[in-house]
C-alpha cells in the first residue's frame, strides 16, 4: 500500500510540475505534508536545502529522499520512478508534436499562457521556504530572525547584483552561520 501511495504521489508531482524543480515544490508540499503527512513543514524546508546541495533536480532528489524515509530503498526507487516517468513520456510525445506542429499559433498561445502559472508556482514555493526561515516561531507575536534576514539579503545581493556563483554563495552563507554559532558558543561560556 505504501509503495502504491509513494508511486501515485510522485507520479502526480512529476506529471504536473511544469517549470522545473521550484515549480514542483508546492506540489511536493501538498502531497508529502498535507495529504500524507510524511514530513513536517520544518523537515520539508530541510529537504529543500538538502536537495539544493546535492546534484540533480529537486523533484528527483525529494522523491528519492522521501521514498527512502517512508519505505527504505524500495520506496526511494518507486518514488523516483514515479516522479521521472511522466517527464519521460511527456517529453517524448511533446518532442514529436512540437516538431510536427511548431508553427501553429494555438501551440504558441498555450505555451505563453502557461508562463504566468509557472511563475506563480515558483513564487509560492519561495514564500513557503522564506517565511518560516525569517519567522521561525509563527506564534501570536512572530519574531523576525535578523540573522536569517541578513543572510537572505546578502545572498540575494551577491546573486543578483554581483552575479556570483550560487554554489559559492551557499558555501559563504553556511560558513557565516557556522561562525555565528561558534561565536555564540564562545561568548556564552
Computed over its alpha carbons, how large is the radius of gyration of the chain? 20
Domain ranges for the chain, please list them.
Answer: 2-138, 145-189
Q: What is the pTM of this model?
A: 0.60
Measured between alpha carbons, how far is 80 from 90 in angstroms, rounded to an integer? 16
DSSP 165: -
Residue 139 confidence (pLDDT): 65
Residue 143 confidence (pLDDT): 86
Residue 189 confidence (pLDDT): 58
189 residues of the chain, pLDDT tens digit each = 999 999 999 999 998 887 677 778 889 999 999 999 999 988 888 888 888 778 888 889 999 999 999 999 999 999 999 999 998 998 899 889 888 887 888 878 888 888 898 899 889 888 888 888 888 876 667 788 898 999 999 999 999 999 999 999 999 999 999 998 899 888 875
Measured between alpha carbons, how far is 89 from 157 in angstroms, rounded to an integer? 39
Residue whose entry in the numeric block shows the C-alpha cell 517527464: 87
Residue 138 confidence (pLDDT): 67
DSSP 180: H
Measured between alpha carbons, how far is 48 from 45 in angstroms, rounded to an integer? 5
Do 54 and 20 contact (CB within 8 A), yes or no?
no
Q: How many residues does the chain have?
A: 189
Would you tell me how many other CB atoms lie within 10 Å of the CB of residue 34? Answer: 9
User: Would you state the cell numbers that stand for residue 22, as one nine-digit string?
Assistant: 521550484
Residue 172 confidence (pLDDT): 95
Would you tell me how many other CB atoms lie within 10 Å of the CB of residue 152? Answer: 15
Do 58 and 24 contact (CB within 8 A), yes or no?
yes
Residue whose entry in the numeric block shows the C-alpha cell 510524511: 38
Residue 42 confidence (pLDDT): 85
Amino acid at each position: 500500500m505504501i509503495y502504491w501511495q509513494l508511486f501515485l504521489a510522485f507520479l502526480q508531482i512529476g506529471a504536473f510540475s511544469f517549470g522545473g524543480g521550484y515549480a514542483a515544490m508546492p506540489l511536493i508540499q501538498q502531497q508529502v505534508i498535507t495529504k500524507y503527512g510524511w514530513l513536517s513543514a520544518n523537515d520539508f524546508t530541510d529537504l529543500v536545502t538538502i536537495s539544493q546541495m546535492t546534484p540533480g533536480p529537486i523533484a528527483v532528489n525529494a522523491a528519492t529522499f522521501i521514498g527512502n524515509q517512508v519505505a527504505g530503498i524500495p520506496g526511494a526507487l518507486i518514488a523516483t520512478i514515479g516522479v521521472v516517468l511522466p517527464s519521460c513520456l511527456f517529453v517524448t510525445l511533446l518532442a514529436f508534436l512540437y516538431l510536427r506542429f511548431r508553427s501553429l499559433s494555438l501551440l504558441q498561445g498555450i505555451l505563453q499562457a502557461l508562463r504566468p502559472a509557472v511563475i506563480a508556482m515558483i513564487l509560492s514555493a519561495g514564500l513557503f521556504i522564506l517565511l518560516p526561515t525569517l519567522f521561525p516561531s509563527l506564534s501570536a507575536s512572530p519574531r523576525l530572525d535578523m540573522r536569517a534576514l541578513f543572510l537572505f539579503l546578502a545572498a540575494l545581493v551577491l546573486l543578483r547584483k554581483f552575479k556570483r556563483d550560487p554554489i559559492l554563495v551557499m558555501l559563504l552563507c553556511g560558513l557565516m552561520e557556522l561562525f555565528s554559532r561558534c561565536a555564540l558558543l564562545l561568548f556564552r561560556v
